[in-house]
Amino acid sequence: MAKINRFAEMLPEITEWRRDLHQNPELLFDCHRTAGVVADKLKAFGVDEIVTGLGRTGVVGVIKGKSTASGKVIGLRADMDALPIHETTGAEHASRVDGKMHACGHDGHTAMLLGAAKYLAETRNFDGTVVVIFQPAEEGGGGGKEMVDEGMMERFGIQEVYGMHNMPTLPVGAFAIRPGPLMAAADQFDIFVEGKGGHAAMPHNAIDTTLIASHVVVALQSIVSRNTDPLVNVVITITSFETESNAYNVIPQRVHLRGTCRTLTPESRAMAEAAIKRIAENTAAAYGGTARLEYEHGYPVTSNHPDQTDFAISVAREVAGEAAVITDVEPVMGGEDFSYMLEARPGAFIFAGNGDTAMLHHPDYDFNDDLIPAGCSYWAKLTETRMPA
């Protein structure tokens, strides 16, 4: 509880940082202001080494303990980017940039890791090295992958890596986690349907692409209902149905479908991709047309490592109490590019309660500043417990 109290004292300061970031959202890799704020604060905290420009606009800070004899090095990661959404919260600290807002709480994640970094740089009550990672472009850009591909783990000698994300509906101060798959692989696909355009009043002289594409959309739902084990999570959603014409009297030559596929295992991922291709092509052929699939693998499954998950659970229980830690939370079918870091090093990703707020990616969402003491305390406790002085 001592750390919770310490961060409660720091709450006004950390809240001010968070709200400044909230007012100035930046998208994907265009996190130049945010990265500058982070780097300036790490410098003011007396962090031993600060590296900017990793993953284009990522920032890494290195904090050494009172001793580094243990040789242990752990990484703690926060994301910095916002979303292309117009904010409707009406808050005094609302976004000042039209069409951009922190609708996923990355402003809070960044502020909490900065708060923990300040505390750890002041106290250094651990034997080893903690590497604080601030990454851009989590929202679809793969900033985490770029940082890993640029050799971040090897450069800083990171042995384990940990991440955190706020979760609306989970009570403030509570945590939720599970070993193994926690968040889904997030793939996207395009289906290009081609037929024979013609006059809407003479469909017998055409090959109707809107009819074909409509049957493809319906048939794809059978992948989840009939090709997938009922105990396995798969989501396939068509998000766009676009024709070449907006006229009332034209059957278009082509239709373009866009969609996303979410899975939790390599086997279900491969099955779903093959089924989408088979169903699209064969359905189109049945009506005299053709369909071509372009399938792009996105973020892989965010899969927690067992030993590091057990450790994260023990830390969360010390911070929040045993009753406030869910250890078998249901997997979430959203994607998260912390998955690339978990593929590179063992670690664990945990959810922290944001309370009764709007859901993520909603224009009324706002990060709950009451979460800050628990989130900062988790980072500090994790560091000091994993690398005891």
Cβ neighbours of 153 (radius 10 Å): 19
The gap from C-alpha 188 to its chain's centroid, in whole angstroms, comes to 15
b or e along 116-129 (b: 16 or more beta carbons within 10 Å of the residue's beta carbon)?
Answer: bbbbbbebbebbbb
Contacts of 323 (CB under 8 A, 6+ apart): none
Task: Please give the structure tokens belonging to residue 182.
Answer: 């926690």
Q: What is the pLDDT of residue 1?
A: 52
Q: Report the distance separating Cα 383 and Cα 125, nearest Å.
A: 9
Q: What is the pLDDT of residue 316?
A: 98
Residue 65 in contact with residue 129, Cβ under 8 Å? yes
Q: What is the pLDDT along the chain (389 residues), one digit of tens a residue?
A: 556 688 999 999 999 999 999 999 999 999 999 999 999 999 999 999 999 999 999 999 999 999 999 999 999 999 999 999 999 999 999 999 999 999 999 999 999 999 999 999 999 999 999 999 999 999 999 999 999 999 999 999 999 999 999 999 999 999 999 999 999 999 999 999 999 999 999 999 999 999 999 999 999 999 999 999 999 999 999 999 999 989 999 999 999 999 999 999 999 999 999 999 999 999 999 999 999 999 999 999 999 999 999 999 999 999 999 999 999 999 999 999 999 999 999 999 999 999 999 999 999 999 999 999 999 999 999 999 999 99
171 burial via Cβ count (<10 Å: 0-12, 13-18, 19+): middle
Domains in the chain: boundaries? 2-181+301-386, 185-299
Q: What is the pLDDT of residue 5?
A: 83
To the nearest 10 degrees (0 to 180), the angle between helices 372-386 and 2-23 is 120
Please indicate whether the domains covering 2-181+301-386 and 185-299 agree at the CATH topology level: no
* Separation in Å, CA 67 to CA 71, 123, 124, 154, 196: 9, 12, 9, 21, 73
Residue 365 in contact with residue 359, Cβ under 8 Å? yes
**DSSP 3-state helix, strand, coil percentages of the chain (rounded to 5)?**
40, 30, 35
The gap from C-alpha 48 to its chain's centroid, in whole angstroms, comes to 28
- Strand pairing partners for 235? 262
Residue 137 in contact with residue 149, Cβ under 8 Å? no
169 burial via Cβ count (<10 Å: 0-12, 13-18, 19+): exposed
Q: What is the pLDDT of residue 185?
A: 97
- Of the candidates 238, 316, 252, the one whose C-alpha atom is nearest the C-alpha of residue 280 is 238
The secondary structure of 162-178 as a DSSP string is EEEEEEETSPTT-EE--
Position of tokens 């999570």?
Answer: 233
Contacts of 92 (CB under 8 A, 6+ apart): none
Give the number of C-alpha atoms closer than 13 A to the C-alpha of residue 313, restricted to the C-beta side.
17
The H or E element containing residue 115 is helix 106-123
Q: What is the pLDDT of residue 163?
A: 98
- Strand pairing partners for 194? 254, 290
Q: What is the pLDDT of residue 154?
A: 98
- Strand pairing partners for 76? 132, 162
The H or E element containing residue 241 is strand 234-243
Fold of 185-299: Alpha-Beta Plaits (3.30.70)
Task: Please give the structure tokens belonging to residue 196.
Answer: 């024979």
Fold of 2-181+301-386: Aminopeptidase (3.40.630)
Task: Please give the structure tokens belonging to residue 244.
Answer: 């070449």
